[in-house]
Structure 1
Amino acid sequence: METRLANISTEDRKEIIQAYQKLLRASRNVLNWDDIKQIRKAIELSLEQAGFDRRLSGKLSIVHSLEVATIALEEIGLGRTSLICALLYDTVRKSDQSIDQIQKQFGSQVANIMDGLVKVFDLYQRNVSIQSENFRKLLLTFAQDVRVILIIIAERLQTIRTLDLYDRELQLKIASEISYLYAPMAHRLGLYTIKSEMEDLVMKYTNRDMYKFIAKKLNETKRAREKYIKEFIDPIKEELEQYNLKFDIKGRTKTIHSIFNKMQKQKVEFEQVYDLFAIRVILDSPQKHEKADCWKVYSVVADKYQPNPSRMRDWLSIPKSNGYESLHTTVLGPGNKWVEVQIRSKRMDEVAERGLAAHWKYKGVKGDQGLDMWLANIRDILENPELNAVDFIDDFKLNLYDEEVFVFTPKGDLRRLPKGATVLDFAFDIHSEVGKKCAGARVNDKNVSIRHVLQNGDQVDIQTTSNQEPKQDWLQIVVTSKAKTKLKQALRDIQYKESELGRELLVRRLKNWKIDLSDQLTGVMVKHFKFKSVNDFFRDIALEKLDVVAIKEFIQQQDRKDHERDHAESRQSGRSAENFVAPPQDDGQLQGDDVLLIDKNLTNVDFKLAKCCNPIFGDEIFGFVSVSGGIRIHRNNCPNANEMHTKFSYRIIQARWTGEAGGSYLAAIKVLGEDDIGIVSNISQIISKELKLKTRSISVDSKEGLFEGTVSVFVNNNQILNTLIKKVKEVKGVLSVSRIDAVG
C-alpha cells in the first residue's frame, strides 16, 4: 500500500492515511490482527484494481470506501465481513474482479454480500433515482442478507454528508431518494440516529431557507434551553441518587426536521413549539432488573412533575417490532412547560441508537421476534414474481413509519399490526387463503365485519366461508403491505380467469359469424369501446356488461368503411411513399441534458406553472414532462418533488429562470394574528400603498380572539414576495406569516 501511495499527490496521500487511521481507531476493540490484515488486503486490492478513481463528487473512491466502512463499524455496529465488503464495493463494480475471485481471497460470506451489492450497483450511476424494478431488485437482495441494505444505508449517509461536492441537480435527486426510501428504511431498522441525520440533511438541501432559519433560532435559544434543562434535571438527579441507581441523565435537543414537522402540524411559529428537547435517563442496570429500575425512575419523575396520561408510551412491556424498548412520558416542568422524558437501560439505548446490529447482539431478549417477523414478511411479499413494482413501493412504504397495535389469536398468540389495521388485515396476516375466504370475525366474543378496526389487546377469531371471494373494494379496507400485495394478486387471478372466459366466448361467437379474431382487430375494439386494457374488454364480455351483438355490428361497420376507403384510394393518383416528407423538428424541443430557460418571452415550448406549488420568478425550479407532453414547472421544494424525482426521474428536466423578472405571478400568503379591528387595514396598506402590489383577494376567518387570513397578490418575483412576508410579520398583532404552495 505504501508503494502505491508514494505515486500520488501529498494532499491525496494525507486524505487516504487519515481515513485509514480513523477506521483503525474505530475498530480497535472489535478487530484482531488477522482481521486488520484482511482489511489491508481489501484496501490494497481496491488500489490495485480501481487505482485512484474519483466519484462524481470529486472525492477519491478509496477515501469514500474507507469512510463508509467506518460508518458501518462505528455508527451501525457491523463487523469484519461488512467492513471488507464496504471497502471492496467500488473496486468490484469498477474493475473486472469477479465474485469467484473475491470468494477465493475473502471467503463465501464476503462473496455473497458483494454479489448483492453488485446487483444494486446500477442504482448509483449518473441517474441515482430509484426506478421501480430496480427498487424491487434492491429489496430482493436485502431479503437474502440484511447486511447489504445496512452497507448501502452507510454509503448513502456518507454521500449525503458530502452533498456540497455535487452539482445542484444531483443534490436534489440524491436527497429525494434518501427522503423517499432510506430515511424511512433506517427508521424501520431502528437506526434512529442515522434516520434523524438523513432527514436533517435532506431538509438542508431541499428546503434551505427554513433549515437555516431553525438552525439560527436553535443557536440563539441554546443558553436559555441549557439553563432550563439543568433546572429540570437537578431535583430528579438528587432523588435518583438516594435509590443507589447507576444512571446518566441529559437533555437532548430535537432535530431541525422534527421541529419543522411540529411547526407544520401544529401550524405555529418556532417560538410556539414547546417541546424543543427531550430529557433522557439511561440506567446502568443488570438485564434482569432493568425494567423494574425504569419504573422506579418513572415513579420519581411522576412525583416531581405532573405527568400527562395521554402522552404515556410503554414500550417496555411490549417492545416495537424493530426491537425498540423505552418508557416515554410527558410531564409539566418548571414554568408550566411540557417536557418529554425517555427512560431506558444502556442495552435498550444501544438498540435504539444503533438498531439492527445491536438488536442481534442481544438476540434472545424479549422483543427480538418482531423484527425477524417483519424481515420474513418482506421475503414473503417478494416471492410474488408478478408483483407490480410501483404498487409495491407504495405499499411497502405504508408500513415503514407506522405505529403498532398488539392483538391475539384465540390461542393467545400475539400478532403485531400497524395502527389502523382491520379484521381483514389480521386474516391475511395469518394466511393468504384465510384472508381470501374471510367473511368477518368475533372480536372479544362480539361479531364484527371485515372492516372493523382492531385495538390494542383485542382477541380475534376469524370467520371464513368457502364461497367467499376477494372483491376490489377490499383494497380500501386493508392497510398492511402484506394484505394489499396478496389481495392484488388474488384479484388479478380472478380477473385473468374472467378475461379468458370472455375471450373464449367472443372467439366462439365470431367463429359462428365466420369472423376471425386477430390482435389488430382486438386493439381497434378496445380503443373504440374505450377500455383501458384488453383484459378489461374481455372481462366485460364475460360479465355480460358488453353485448357481443354490438361487437359484431361494429366489425361489420368497419369492414364497410375499409371497403369504401380502398375504393376511393384506388381512384387517386400519385399516392406513394416517395412523396412523403418528414415534418420539420420544433426548435423548442429539448435535447439531451439541456437546461430549460424560463422567461416571459418563451413561446416555442409548451410549459405551464404547476398549481401544486405555484412557482414564481426567482424560485429554484425544475421541469416535469406531463403525460400530455407539455412541461410543468415546479419549485424544488414542491410537496410532490420527492415522489417525482424518485418514481419518474426520466421525466425531470433541469430548468431555471433567465432574463429580467417580467409579468405578474399570482402568490398567496397565510397570516395568523390577534383579532384586532385595525390589523387587516394595516396589512392592506402595506400591500397597496407601500409595496404598490395588486391584490386579487383577501379572506379572513375569526375564531376565539384569533384571525386567520389568506391574501392573494400579484408579484414580479420571489424577492418582492419575501419582502411582503417580512413587512406583514412586523405588523403589531401578527403572530405568523407563511407562503401558501397551492393557489386557487
Structure 2
Amino acid sequence: MEREDYLRRLREINPNYKFELIGEAFDFASKAHEGQYRRSGESYVSHPAEVSLILAALDMDDDTIIAGLLHDVIEDTSYGYERVTALFGEDVAEIVDGVTKIEKISYASKEVQQAENFRKMLLAMSKDIRVIIVKLADRLHNMRTLEFKSPPSQIRTAEETMEIYVPIAHRLGIFKLKWELEDLAFKYLHPQDFKDLANRLAQDRTSREAYIEKIIGNINEILLDSGIEANIYGRPKNLYSIYKKMTLKDRAFEEIHDLTAIRVIVKEVGICYAVLGILHSKWKPIPGRFKDYIAMPKPNMYQSLHTTLLSEGGDTFEVQIRTEEMHKVAEYGIAAHWKYKEGQRGISSGSDLHWIDQLMEWQKEMDNPEEFINSVKMDLYSSHVYVFTPLGNVIELPDGSTPVDFAYKIHTDVGNTCVGAKVNSRIVPLNYRLKIGDIVEILTAKNSPGPSRDWLSFVQSSQAKNKIKNFFKKESREENIETGKESLEKNLRKYNLTLKAALTPKVVEELLDKLSMKNLDHLYAALGYGGIGFRQILPTIREHLIEEEKTLHIGKSRSGGSQSGIRVEGLEDLQVKFAKCCNPLPGDSIIGYITRGSGITVHKSTCTNFSKGSDEMNRFIEVSWDMESSILHSASLKVIGRDRPGLLNDVTTVVQNMKFTLTGVNARVNNEQLARIVVSFDVKSAAELQAVADRLKILPGVVEVHRL
C-alpha cells in the first residue's frame, strides 16, 4: 500500500486526524518492515496500514491509529520501545509494547501456557484498553487474509478466533468487529454450512429486502403521524448468528423469520418508550420477546429496547429502539465510550467493565492454571441473568445462579456468613435457580461457621466457587488433609479400590507432577478444600491399572450378593475380570471364560473376540449379574456429529445433567469437519448407558452414537 493511498482512505473515514504525524508513522513503519512480505505477496506494511484503518472506522484517537501502524515494529524489527517513544510519545509506545507482550493464545496449547497468555492479556487491558482493541483489529485483518495460509493453520486460527477473540469483542461491546470475526471463523470452521447458508440467503434476498422496506415504510409513516422523527433502517443478521440459532434450536432455515433486525434511532430516551407503545398498538408483540436493555444495560454497556412483532401476513420481525448515543455504543462498544484523560488509561470505575477487574482478582488468587482458564472461559462464554438487590441495584450473574452466587457477588463476607435467602420476599432454598427480575435478599449470621462444601455442587459462578474453595483452603490444613483423604477413599471404594492399590509410587509421582504439588498431603488438602476433584485424579489411576486389569474377588456365598456384581454357579473363590474388548455392563447377556490362570473373564455373549470351537467349549462357564449390586462400571460412548461451536459442551452437559460422573473426554475433528467425541462416565447398568445415548442422539448436528 502506498502512502498517498493510505492517507486518502484514512481521510475518507475521518478528516480530523493529525495526518502529518500519522504520515510520519506510516513512513517509519514502511522503513522498519522494509524487505518483509506477507504470504499474499504484498509488502508487509499493508497489514499494519489496514489494521489502523479498521481502528479509524471505530473512531479511535490519533495515538491508537499510530499504534496500529506500529504494532509489529517492536516484535518484528530492530526498532525498540525507546525509539518509538522518542518519535511518537509514551502512550503510543505503551500500546505497541502491550500488543507485543500478548503472545498468540492457542486453543490447543497447554493449560499453563494458555493461562499465562490470558494473564498478559488481562494485565494489558487493565492498563490501557486500547491494547486489546488494537489486538482485535490485528486479528480481524489476519482473518480477512486467512486464505493465504495452509488449511491446518486456517483451522487453528479460526478456532482461536471463535474461542477467544469473538467472546472478548462481545464483552467489550464491539459488535462491528465481533460479527465479522464470527462470520470469517464460521467460513473456515464449517465451509459447507457457510456456503449453503450464504446461497440460501442470496436466493431470497430480493423478496426479503422488499418485505423489510415495506415494514420500514409503515413504521416511518405511523411515527411521522405521531410527530416523531426517527432514522429507520434494516440490518441483516450475520451468517453465524443465523447458523447458531438453527443448530441450537434445531430449526430449518425456513423456520428462521427474523433474518433482519429493524433499528429505530431517535434523539431521546423518553421517545424510545413512546415508539415502543406506538409499535405495540400497530402490531401484536410476541409474548416473552420484549427486553428492556435501557433500564438494565448489558455488561458491555449495550442499551436498547427489543421487541418482536407479528406482521399482517403472519411473519415475525424484530425491532430495536435506541437513541443515537446508544446506537454508537451498540456498534463500537468500549471504543465509543473511551475518553482519554491524563493519568487515566485503564479501566475506569464508570466503564462498567468490572469483569476485567474480576478476572484480574481471580488470576491473583488461583494457583491452578486449569482452574483459572475454566473461570475465564465461563465468564466470557456464559449467558447471564439479571436480578435486583432490595435497594433496586442490578446484579449480573451467570445463568443458573443461586442465592449463594448472589451473596458472593455482593461481598466475600456476605457469602461466608450466608445462612438463608429470600427471593421476592419468600424464603427459598440456597440452591434455588434465580430468574430475571428476581429481588434477592441474603440472610446472614455473625456466628455462622462459614460456607458448606456442599455449596460447590450447585453454585454456578466462578467467583462463588473460588471464594468457597479459598475459605476451606485457609482453614485447618490438618482438617483438609483428613477430609480429602476420606473423600478419596470413599470415591475409590466405588471402584473396589483401596488407597494403597490406587496410589502406587508411580501414580503418586505422576499426579504430583501433573497437579504441580509438592507431596501427597498437598493433594489430600486440595481434595479437602475443593481445589481439585476426584475426576482430575481418576484418569491417571486408570492409566496405570489398565495393563493389569482391575480384578474383582468373588464372595463365597452362592446365593447372596457378590462383591464383583457377578454370580458364578458352582464355583467359589475365583478371580473375575471384565473383558476390555466388549466392556459388558449389568443387563447385557454375558458368558464367562476360564483363563489359564484359573480366573474368569466376563464377555458379552455376542463378543466376537473369542471362538466357541469344540476345543474351547470346556472353558466356557455360565455366569450372571447380581442385580442387587450397586457397583459402578466404567462405560464410554462415541458421539459423531457435524463439528460446531458448543458441541463438546452440549455432550458433556447431557451426561452431567443426568447425574453421571464424567471420568474422561476426548475429542477430535477430521478433514470432513466431523467431530468424534468419546465421553466416559460411570453407570450401574447397560440401561443407564442407553438412556444417555438416546439423549445424545437428539442433539443438533449429532449423526450417530456408539457404545464402546
Corresponding position of 2:364: 383
Whether 1:335 and 2:320 are equivalent positions in the alignment is no
Describe the SS at the equivalent of 1:358. helix
Structure 2-normalised TM-score? 0.67
Do the aligned residues in 2 keep the contact of 1:191 with 1:355 (CA within 8 Å)?
yes
Cα deviation, residue 495, structure 1: 8.1
RCO higher in structure (CA 8 A, sep ≥6): 1
Indicate how the Cα distance of structure 1 residues 458 and 306 shifts in structure 2: closer, same or farther if over 3 A, else same.
same
Corresponding position of 1:91: 73
Specify the code of the residue in structure 1 equivalent to 2:9.
K
Corresponding position of 1:28: 15
Correspondent of 2:83 among 69, 89, 101: 101
Do the aligned residues in 2 keep the contact of 1:184 with 1:401 (CA within 8 Å)?
yes
Cα deviation, residue 347, structure 1: 1.3
Task: Describe how 1:433-512 pairs up with structure 2 within 5 A.
Answer: 433-455=413-435, 456-494=437-475, 498=479
Whether 1:61 and 2:61 are equivalent positions in the alignment is no
Corresponding position of 1:740: 703
Describe the SS at the equivalent of 2:52. helix
Corresponding position of 1:512: none
Correspondent of 2:182 among 199, 203, 212: 199
Whether 1:112 and 2:105 are equivalent positions in the alignment is no
Deviations 1:200-243 (A, max 9, x none): 11111011111111100111101111222133232222111122
Whether 1:212 and 2:195 are equivalent positions in the alignment is yes
Corresponding position of 1:307: 285
Whether 1:224 and 2:207 are equivalent positions in the alignment is yes
Counterpart Cα distance in 2 of 1:441 and 1:615: 44
Cα deviation, residue 22, structure 1: 1.7
Cα deviation, residue 395, structure 1: 1.8
Describe the SS at the equivalent of 1:221. helix
Correspondent of 2:374 among 384, 391, 394: 394
Do the aligned residues in 1 keep the contact of 2:285 with 2:308 (CA within 8 Å)?
yes
Corresponding position of 1:293: 271
Do the aligned residues in 2 keep the contact of 1:321 with 1:370 (CA within 8 Å)?
no
Indicate how the Cα distance of structure 1 residues 128 and 343 shifts in structure 2: closer, same or farther if over 3 A, else same.
farther
Counterpart Cα distance in 2 of 1:426 and 1:540: 25
Correspondent of 1:355 among 328, 333, 356: 333
Whether 1:153 and 2:132 are equivalent positions in the alignment is no
Cα deviation, residue 402, structure 1: 4.4
Deviations 1:102-134 (A, max 9, x none): 223222222322231121145599999983322
Cα deviation, residue 96, structure 1: 3.4
Describe the SS at the equivalent of 1:214. helix
Specify the code of the residue in structure 1 equivalent to 2:429.
S
Specify the code of the residue in structure 2 equivalent to 1:71.
I
Describe the SS at the equivalent of 1:142. helix
Corresponding position of 1:535: 521
Specify the code of the residue in structure 1 equivalent to 2:418.
C
Counterpart Cα distance in 2 of 1:454 and 1:126: 35
Deviations 1:334-364 (A, max 9, x none): 311111111112211111011112133699x
Whether 1:80 and 2:67 are equivalent positions in the alignment is no
Task: Describe how 1:275-286 pairs up with structure 2 within 5 A.
Answer: 275-283=258-266, 285=267
Specify the code of the residue in structure 1 equivalent to 2:305.
L
Counterpart Cα distance in 2 of 1:103 and 1:125: 34
Do the aligned residues in 2 keep the contact of 1:252 with 1:277 (CA within 8 Å)?
yes
Cα deviation, residue 471, structure 1: 4.5
Do the aligned residues in 2 keep the contact of 1:277 with 1:339 (CA within 8 Å)?
yes
Counterpart Cα distance in 1 of 2:284 and 2:479: 63
Specify the code of the residue in structure 2 equivalent to 1:101.
R
Corresponding position of 1:518: none
Q: What's the Cα RMSD here?
A: 4.0
What is the number of equivalent residue pairs in this alignment?
533
Describe the SS at the equivalent of 1:400. helix
Describe the SS at the equivalent of 2:639. coil
Corresponding position of 1:187: 170
The unaligned stretches of length 5 or more in structure 1 are: 1-12, 504-521, 544-609, 617-626, 642-700, 702-707, 712-736
Corresponding position of 2:236: 253
Indicate how the Cα distance of structure 1 residues 525 and 219 shifts in structure 2: closer, same or farther if over 3 A, else same.
closer
Corresponding position of 2:673: 637
Whether 1:243 and 2:222 are equivalent positions in the alignment is no
Describe the SS at the equivalent of 1:228. helix
Indicate how the Cα distance of structure 1 residues 362 and 235 shifts in structure 2: closer, same or farther if over 3 A, else same.
farther
Indicate how the Cα distance of structure 1 residues 85 and 467 shifts in structure 2: closer, same or farther if over 3 A, else same.
same
Counterpart Cα distance in 2 of 1:226 and 1:633: 38
Indicate how the Cα distance of structure 1 residues 38 and 492 shifts in structure 2: closer, same or farther if over 3 A, else same.
farther
Do the aligned residues in 2 keep the contact of 1:434 with 1:464 (CA within 8 Å)?
no
Corresponding position of 1:613: 640
Correspondent of 2:5 among 18, 21, 24: 18
Describe the SS at the equivalent of 2:257. coil
Structure 1-normalised TM-score? 0.64
Indicate how the Cα distance of structure 1 residues 109 and 496 shifts in structure 2: closer, same or farther if over 3 A, else same.
farther
Counterpart Cα distance in 2 of 1:123 and 1:216: 33
Counterpart Cα distance in 2 of 1:540 and 1:264: 39
Cα deviation, residue 269, structure 1: 2.1
Indicate how the Cα distance of structure 1 residues 526 and 39 shifts in structure 2: closer, same or farther if over 3 A, else same.
same
Specify the code of the residue in structure 1 equivalent to 2:206.
R
Correspondent of 1:415 among 387, 395, 406: 395
Percent identity, aligned pairs only? 32
Deviations 1:292-343 (A, max 9, x none): 2112211221122111121111112222121111111111113111111111
